[in-house]
Amino acid sequence: MSKHQIRCITKADRHNPHERILAIGGVNPNGTNWKLTQQAAIDSINSGKYRFYVVVNGQQVDVIVAVSRYGHRYIKTVADGEEPNNLLSLMECK
């Protein structure tokens, strides 16, 4: 299992925080960019293929898969409540 920092996200214009993140992205060790859909990230976390984190105030915060009260799977940081603010506050992927 490899661990990757999420540095950006792609958002939809939706108000529901569980449906707003379409994709996540970051930088590989060789300097190239990577990008995954939220569903691919969920599948990768659940299968143990990848782990993800964000840096908040200089600290690594792990990203986990959560289930909304409506039964939707989404990603969030362990420090967030049901609304994934740490991820939503990241810059947009280019």
The domain in which residue 74 lies consists of 2-92
Checking DSSP bridges between strand 73-77 and strand 21-27, what pairing results, if any?
unpaired
Classify residue 80 as left (phi > 0), alpha (psi -120 to 50) or beta: beta
Read off the pLDDT of residues 26-61 as tens digits, 9 standing for 90 and up. Answer: 999 999 999 999 999 999 999 999 999 999 888 899
Classify residue 64 as left (phi > 0), alpha (psi -120 to 50) or beta: beta
The model's pTM is 0.86
If one counts the domains in the chain, the total is: 1
% of the chain beyond a pLDDT of 70? 88
